[in-house]
Amino acid sequence: MYIYNSILGNIYLLSDGIYLTGLSFNKYNYKIKVLPIFKDTIKWLDLYFNGYIPDFELPIKLENISLFTKQVLSILKDVSYGTTITYNELSKKVAALRGLNQMAAQAVGSALGKNPIAIIIPCHRVVGKNNKLIGYHWGIERKKKLLEIEGNIYE
- 67-149 CATH fold: Arc Repressor Mutant, subunit A (1.10.10)
Position 155 scores a pLDDT of 65
Position 109 scores a pLDDT of 94
Catalytic residues: 123
Position 116 scores a pLDDT of 96
pTM recorded for the entire structure: 0.92
Output the 3-class SS for the chain.
CEEEEECCEEEEEEECCCCEEEEECCCCCCCCCCCHHHHHHHHHHHHHHCCCCCCCCCCECCCCCCHHHHHHHHHHCCCCCCCCEEHHHHHHHHHHHCCCCCCCHHHHHHHHCCCCECCCCCHHHEECHHHCCCCCCCCHHHHHHHHHHCCCCCC
User: Could you state, in order of their start, the residue ranges of all structural domains in the chain?
Assistant: 2-49, 67-149
- Rounded-to-integer distance, Cα 88 and Cα 128, Å: 8
Low-confidence ranges of the chain (pLDDT < 50): none
